């Protein structure tokens, strides 16, 4: 089988497993449950006058929400990206596209990526490539091609050493990735976002990224989808010697606090993601220091369950929860929510 067909098959398996199997962390949580909102009995606000909008990549979002990078590169991905893009366009949300490595290997599924911009002409759209690809021959020119393919507003580089280690056909080769990211930041025509895929970016790692010039970090912490789990399920090995790594990773809440603390050194946009499910989770992530949040698997599952109608219903409830959190913390805007107090549960 050719490389591009192998990549396509893997992308399809990922979506299937994330839809049908329980690939959440088993013992670890996001850590957001350690916090409560500090209830404000004197909010001096009207519920119908809250402003949930924020700016991201030079565009206005109606909610501080990014649909995290998921898919592209096989037949079924076109319908998924089209639906996600339509919902983002209708509601004014940002959208991440799944790894575009396949588009560099062949033109066969270019439409599965291109469709996103066609259906969402006005939203921030984010291209995606693996950090390990940057040290295996994918250079700036090729990444500019990916940017052009979807009219991307930014490129997300995913760091996924744990996933590559456990992926049966993975390439756990990360030597040189930081230098390659620095070069990309200096030369690319659009901003670079660095993200994990659900095991988290610590403050220490983010510090090195900031030194390399990165100004947008998506923590993608532990507590939601376990990509070690997904790859362990794809592996045929019984009693896998690395099975314990299913729960490897840093809780999302800890990542947000650590990475946001680096704002004293450089202007930094922090995306809080990994296990964000409700609007309450989002509000806590923002109060801990995130500018906006990202959600992947729960939105894919809503879409697969009941199409765009179900996804819209999910987002209606999510928005109501976010607004409720803003009201009970006396936060009229997302900026104010960033300064809301949380109480750590004892
Ligand atoms: C089906 C699926 C495919 C994904 N593919 C990619 C990918 O290609 N590139 C990437 O950076 N992240 C990918 N992710 C990871 C997500 O962007 C996200 O970081 C991770 O799932 C944690 O968020 P969650 O707990 O909300 O699912 C994928 C997630 C899902 C559910």
Q: How far is the CA of 99 from the centre of ligand 1 (A)?
A: 9
Pocket lining for ligand 1, CB < 6 angstroms? 14-15, 18, 68-71, 98-99, 128, 156, 158, 195, 197-198, 220, 224-225, 273-276, 295-297, 300
Confidence grade of residue 6 (pLDDT, cut at 50, 70, 90): confident
The predicted model gives 58-78 an average pLDDT of 97
Range of the domain at 81: 3-344
Overall residue count recorded for the chain in this entry = 346
Residue 236: per-residue pLDDT:
84
CB 327 within 8 A of CB 50: yes
Helix count and strand count (H, E) for the chain = 14, 12
Q: Token digits for 282?
A: 């989002």
User: Relative to the CA of 196, which ligand 1 atom is closest?
Assistant: 19
Residue 44: per-residue pLDDT:
97
| Percentage of the residues of the chain whose pLDDT score is greater than 90 | 97
Pocket test for ligand 1, best of 9, 68, 73, 94 (most atoms within 8 A of CB): 68
Our count of domains for the chain comes to 1
- State the average pLDDT for the chain: 97
Nearest to 84 by CA among 53, 129, 115: 115
Q: How far is the CA of 66 from the centre of ligand 1 (A)?
A: 12
Residue 4: per-residue pLDDT:
80
Residue 299 maps to which CATH number? 3.20.20.70
Crossing angle between the packed helical segments 297-328 and 77-91, to the nearest 10 degrees: 20
């Amino acid at each position: 089988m050719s490389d591009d067909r192998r990549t396509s098959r893997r992308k399809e398996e990922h979506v299937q497993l994330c839809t049908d199997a329980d690939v959440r962390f088993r013992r670890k949580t996001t850590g957001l449950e350690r916090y409560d909102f500090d209830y404000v009995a004197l909010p001096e606000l009207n519920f119908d006058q809250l402003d949930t909008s924020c700016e991201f990549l030079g565009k206005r979002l109606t909610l501080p929400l990014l649909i995290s990078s998921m898919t592209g590169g096989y037949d079924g991905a076109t319908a998924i990206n089209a639906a996600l893009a339509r919902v983002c366009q209708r509601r004014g949300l940002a959208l991440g596209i799944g790894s575009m490595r396949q588009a560099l290997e062949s033109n066969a599924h270019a439409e599965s990526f291109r469709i996103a911009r066609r259906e969402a002409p006005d939203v921030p759209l984010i291209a995606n490539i693996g950090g390990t690809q940057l040290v295996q021959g994918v250079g700036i020119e090729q990444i500019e091609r990916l940017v052009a393919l979807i009219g991307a507003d930014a490129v997300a580089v995913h760091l996924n050493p744990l996933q590559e280690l456990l992926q049966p056909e993975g390439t756990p080769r990360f030597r040189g990735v930081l230098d390659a990211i620095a070069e990309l930041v200096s030369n690319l025509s659009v901003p670079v976002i660095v993200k994990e895929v659900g095991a988290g970016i610590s403050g220490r790692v983010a510090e090195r990224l900031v030194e390399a010039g990165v100004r947008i970090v998506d923590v993608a912490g532990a507590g939601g989808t376990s990509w070690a789990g997904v790859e362990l399920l794809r592996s045929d090995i019984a009693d896998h010697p690395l099975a314990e790594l299913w729960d490897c990773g840093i809780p999302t809440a800890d990542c947000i606090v650590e990475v946001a603390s680096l704002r004293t050194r450089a202007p930094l946009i922090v995306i809080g993601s990994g296990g964000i499910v409700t609007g309450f989770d989002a509000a806590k992530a923002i109060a801990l220091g995130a500018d906006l949040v990202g959600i992947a698997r729960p939105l894919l599952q809503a879409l697969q369950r009941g199409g765009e109608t179900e996804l819209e219903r999910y987002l209606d409830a999510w928005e109501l929860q976010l607004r409720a959190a803003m009201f009970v913390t006396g936060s009229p805007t997302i900026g104010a929510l960033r300064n809301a107090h949380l109480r750590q549960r004892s």
